[in-house]
Structure 1
Amino acid sequence: MARSVLCVDTEERIDDVAAAVEDDESLTARTATTVAEARETLDAEPIVCVVTAYDLPDGTGLEIVGAIRDIAPQTPCVLFTDVPPAEIDTASFEESIVEYLNRGLPDAHDRLAFVANDVIDYSAQASFIRPDDEDERLETLAQYDVEELPIEDSFDRLTGLIASHFDAAVSFIGLIEEEEENFLACHGGDLDTLTRENTICTHSMLQEDVMIVEDIMEDARFAENEQLQNLGIRSYAGANMTASNGQVIGQVCLLDHVPRSYDAEEQAELEDFADTAMEILELRQSVRDAAETEVAR
């Protein structure tokens, strides 16, 4: 499947930019000639990279960078312009993947597709969003002696119940560690660990409510994730496991091999299952802590 690149430039230049991107057969160009049109496209379609000019009829390329950060923060951007970097507010690039390519260079158009592919690959390998309170979250997670707790059988039964209740191909319980997600139980699949840039739960944990991805292939955040494709995953639903101090340490999730949605009642039920998983973990840890205290006396 070709990678969709949104090209944003003036009406006079847009065709040349799109043609340069499509010189690479792995890329397909979508076009916009204003900031407003670009925002609409980012909202509506799975875009894996944006190539934008700096000077646009209704604003600048910096507004495109801002739109990416608001709408799809993992999407990389190539700023394709002859405006010198010294005249650009590079502080606007913070928390975004932005590459600068001077369109005035003799081989700039020839290199554009290569640069776009390069930043797409880099973003897939190196970027995922961490919560603002990540340190506190990891400290909370460390309080659970997961490897020493007798939770495997309970979680195996729970994930089996969840999969049956929702008629889903896969259900799992995973804890989100610093660099990977550790699956404590998985019914219907053989999941052990995934790096955080490859797991949807990295995004789901940032939402207060259940996160639903009806069709991964139509979602710009995940459409190019080869790990998910290799697992045959097409849809996802995830609910937070939230500790008593409010920190999200894990997820209870559903996966399916076909696109599907979940209504409000089903989402509430998944949240209940996530609360149950958290309660089991809390109970087992409390029992272990009490036993250790008794031994120490």
Structure 2
Amino acid sequence: MNRNVLCVDTDQRIDAVADTIDADDSLTALRATSVAEATATLDDAPVVCVVTAYDLDDGTGLDVVAAVREQLPQTPTVLFTDRRPDEIDTESFGETIVEYLNRDLPDADDRLQFITNDVIDHSAQVSFLAPEDEDERLDALARYEVESLPITESFERLTDLIAEHFDAAVSFIGLIERDEENLLACHGGDWDSVTREETICTHSMLQEDVMVVEDIRADGRFSENELLENLGIRSYAGANMTTPDGHVIGQVCLLDYEVRSYDDEERARLQQFAETAMEILELRQSLRDAQAGGTAVGPDAADTAEVER
């Protein structure tokens, strides 16, 4: 699998930087000579790291960092420059992973290769994004006594229906815990859990609308994901399961072994399935709470959330 590194520098320097990256057999250099070209490349090609100069014809390396933060926030950046650190507004880096390397060092080329590989490996192993309300979201999730709720059969029927409706290889319902996604039902796969670093859902949950990745190998956020590569997964679609008080606690997802897209109607339908899964979970919990409090509840109350075929 290619480890594409976007190299951003002036016309006079770009070849030297790109050649240094290409000299490492595990890396492939993509070239850009402006902030605008770098931004376009982030959109068009899978990128696992960005190496940028500070002084560019249409801006600075900070503008490139801002583009990375906006488009691929988990992608590490190496600022390769002869500017001193005190000349750079490092507060502008935000949460983007940024390394600094002085290009005037005598062994700068060797160091650039080492640092690039290191930040790629480090970001792949330990980094994932969490929503701003992560603590409150986990508290909301904890209120559902999932392990003791009789929801498995209902969710298995629902994932069967979802896979059939979309003609998808895999459909699953997962709740996103602190460090992993717990799969409550999975049609087409024998998976119980996936780490937050490995699951696309940790990205999907940050979006208000259904998230679709038409080609995982062409998306820099996931092209280095060994789990997805080993399973042969090529496309993804995920919709949020949102609690009544607005916290995203899980996802209803589709996976396929081929590149595919989803139109607006299909995305809306997947969101409806996610709302149905959330309704089932809510009703099961309400039934349990009512029984614990001694309130009589009809036996079919928890099965009223249905989706027509």
Tell me, which stretches of 5 or more residues in structure 1 are unaligned? none
**What secondary structure sits across from 2:69 in the alignment?**
helix
Does the 8 A contact of 1:211 with 1:239 survive in 2? yes
Q: Does 2:212 align with 1:225?
A: no
Matched residue type, 1:232? G
Distance (whole Å) between structure 2 residues aligned to residue 272 and residue 2 of structure 1: 37
State the TM-score, normalized to the length of structure 2. 0.93
Task: Give the structure 2 partner of residue 88 of structure 1.
Answer: 88
Q: CA deviation at 1:6?
A: 0.5
State the TM-score, normalized to the length of structure 1. 0.97
Q: CA deviation at 1:84?
A: 1.3
Matched residue type, 2:175? L
Task: Give the structure 1 partner of residue 165 of structure 2.
Answer: 165
Task: Give the structure 2 partner of residue 126 of structure 1.
Answer: 126
Moved over 3 A (4+): none
Q: CA deviation at 1:94?
A: 2.0
Does the 8 A contact of 1:9 with 1:32 survive in 2? yes
Task: Give the structure 2 partner of residue 283 of structure 1.
Answer: 283
Q: CA deviation at 1:19?
A: 0.5
Q: CA deviation at 1:234?
A: 0.4
Q: Does 2:28 align with 1:28?
A: yes
Q: CA deviation at 1:132?
A: 1.1
Q: Does 2:202 align with 1:202?
A: yes
Task: Give the structure 2 partner of residue 43 of structure 1.
Answer: 43
Q: Report the number of matched residues.
A: 295
**What secondary structure sits across from 1:140 in the alignment?**
helix
Distance (whole Å) between structure 2 residues aligned to residue 260 and residue 34 of structure 1: 32
Distance (whole Å) between structure 2 residues aligned to residue 230 and residue 293 of structure 1: 48
Q: Structure 1, residues 12-45: CA drift from partner, whole Å, max 9, x if none?
A: 1110000000111111111111111111111221
Distance (whole Å) between structure 2 residues aligned to residue 94 and residue 178 of structure 1: 23
Distance (whole Å) between structure 1 residues aligned to residue 126 and residue 82 of structure 2: 28
- Of 279-288 and 263-272, the range deviating more from structure 2: 263-272
Q: Does 2:48 align with 1:76?
A: no
Distance (whole Å) between structure 2 residues aligned to residue 236 and residue 2 of structure 1: 21
Q: CA deviation at 1:104?
A: 0.9
Distance (whole Å) between structure 1 residues aligned to residue 73 and residue 278 of structure 2: 29
Q: CA deviation at 1:232?
A: 1.3
Distance (whole Å) between structure 2 residues aligned to residue 192 and residue 171 of structure 1: 13
Q: CA deviation at 1:9?
A: 0.8
Does the 8 A contact of 1:234 with 1:258 survive in 2? yes
Task: Give the structure 1 partner of residue 183 of structure 2.
Answer: 183
**What secondary structure sits across from 1:7 in the alignment?**
strand
Distance (whole Å) between structure 1 residues aligned to residue 65 and residue 127 of structure 2: 16
Matched residue type, 1:247? H
Task: Give the structure 2 partner of residue 260 of structure 1.
Answer: 260
- Of 235-244 and 39-48, the range deviating more from structure 2: 39-48
Distance (whole Å) between structure 1 residues aligned to residue 293 and residue 103 of structure 2: 67
